[in-house]
Amino acid sequence: MTDPRPLRSFIPPYILNRIIAHGSERQRSSAMVTLTHVRTLRHTSGSPVPSAAAAILPTPVQPGQVQRSIHDAQGKLLLPGMPARLEGQPATGDPAVDEAYDAMGASHDFFWKVLGRDSIDNQGFALIGSVHYGQDYENAFWNGGQMVFGDGDGEIFERFTRSLDVIGHELTHGVIESEAGLVYANQSGALNESISDVFGVLIKQRVLGQTAAEADWLIGADLLTPRIKGVGLRSMAHPGKAYDDPLLGKDPQPDHMRKFVITQEDNGGVHINSGIPNRAFYLLAQALGGFAWDKAGRIWYDTLCDKRLDSEASFEQFAQLTVAHARNRFGTDEARAVKHGWAEVGVKSSQEGS
C-alpha cells in the first residue's frame, strides 16, 4: 500500500523534472540525485516522532521554552549529522547553521507568542535541523522528526536556509501532521502545502514587522540565483507569476478553481493547486488589513485545530470551517471577508443554513 503521508519536500518534482530535461550536465545530475532521493523517502504516519538527536538536549523547564539543535550532515545523505550548534550556544560563522538556528527560533517564537502553541506538537517538541545535506542537494524537507536543508547547486538554487519562510514552511508541516494529519494528496495535500506557505510567510512578515499591504507574499524569494528569471518559487498574491524562465519553465500554479489542475503527478498536484487557497488567504489578509497574523492567521490556525477538519478535507470543506471560525472569534464582518476571499478563487464557503 502506498504511504498516505509521503515526505513533504519544498521543491516540487515538476521543477526537478524540468531541470533534468533542460539543464546542463551538472544541473541535471544534481536534480536527478535530489529527485531520486526524495522518492525513496517516507516517514511513518501519526504524530511527529522526535529525532534521536533530541536526546542531547535538556528537557524544557517551562512551557514555550525552545530547544534547538542544528547538525552538519557534511555533504552526506545521513541524518542527523554532527552537532554544530545547540540551544543557547553562540553563532558558529557557518551561514547555513546560523540561519537554520535563527529561523527555527523565529518559527517557534511565532507559534508560541502569536498562537499559544508550544512547538510542533504543542508539548515542547525539540526542533532538530540538519544542514549541508548531500552534494548540491536541491531541496528542504520535514521527515516526521526533523527538518533537513540542502545547499542547492549555486546555479539555480541557493542554500535553502537563506529563506526564513522555507524553514517556517517545513516546521509547519510538522504542526499540520501533529494537529490535523491532512493527507498529502489531491485537495487535502494542496491544503497541507498551502497552510505551510501561509504560516511560513506569516513568520517572515512578523520578523520583518510587515503589514499585509507591505509584504511581498513570496515563498522562497531568497532561493533563486540571479541567473533565474523569477521572484520566488511561489507567489501567494499572484499564483502562476512567480517565475518564467527558459530552464524552469513558467510557474504552473492556478489562481482560480476554473484552472484547477487534474494530474497524477506531484501527489495529485499538491504544489500546483495550493495556489488557489494561497490566493484566498492573501485576499482575506488584504481585506482585513494590518498584520496578517492577527486575524487571518488566527482564523486559519483555529481551522487547522478544529477536530471537524477531515484528514482528506476538500477546499470547500476547509473554507466552510474558516468562515465559521472567523464569525466565532471575530464577527460577521470578518466572516464576510473570508467568504469573499474564497469566492474570488471559485471556492464555495457556505452551507445551507449557515
Q: What pLDDT, on a 0 to 100 scale, did the predictor assign at position 30?
A: 94
| Model confidence at 175: pLDDT above 50 | yes
Give the tens place of pLDDT for each residue, 237-269. 999 999 999 999 999 999 999 999 999 989 999
Q: What pLDDT, on a 0 to 100 scale, did the predictor assign at position 110?
A: 98
Q: What pLDDT, on a 0 to 100 scale, did the predictor assign at position 280?
A: 98
User: For this structure, is 170 an active site residue?
Assistant: yes
How many CB atoms are located within 10 Å of the residue 335 CB?
22
| Model confidence at 80: pLDDT above 60 | yes
Q: What pLDDT, on a 0 to 100 scale, did the predictor assign at position 45?
A: 47
Q: What pLDDT, on a 0 to 100 scale, did the predictor assign at position 350?
A: 78
Q: What pLDDT, on a 0 to 100 scale, did the predictor assign at position 56?
A: 64
CATH level 3 topology of 8-179: Elastase; domain 1 (3.10.170)
- Write the DSSP symbol of residue 330: T
User: For this structure, is 265 an active site residue?
Assistant: no
| Model confidence at 59: pLDDT above 90 | no
Query: Which one is catalytic: 37, 71, 108, 271?
Result: 271
Which pairing describes strands 218-219 and 140-142: parallel, antiparallel, or unpaired? Answer: unpaired
Alpha carbon distance, N-terminus to C-terminus of the chain: 39
Q: What pLDDT, on a 0 to 100 scale, did the predictor assign at position 39?
A: 75
Query: What CATH number belongs to 186-344?
Result: 1.10.390.10
Q: What is the mean pLDDT of residues 303-313?
A: 97
Is the separation of the CB atoms in 309 and 188 below 8 Å? no
Question: Which residue stretches of the chain are H helix?
Answer: 13-22, 25-40, 95-115, 164-179, 186-208, 266-269, 275-288, 296-304, 315-329, 332-344
Query: Which one is catalytic: 99, 138, 158, 170?
Result: 170
Question: What residue spans define the domains of the chain?
Answer: 8-179, 186-344
Q: What is the mean pLDDT of residues 102-112?
A: 98
Retrieve residue 334's grid coordinates: 470578518
Give the tens place of pLDDT for each residue, 138-153. 999 998 889 999 999 9
What are the φ/ψ torsions at residue 194 (nearest 5 degrees)? -65, -45
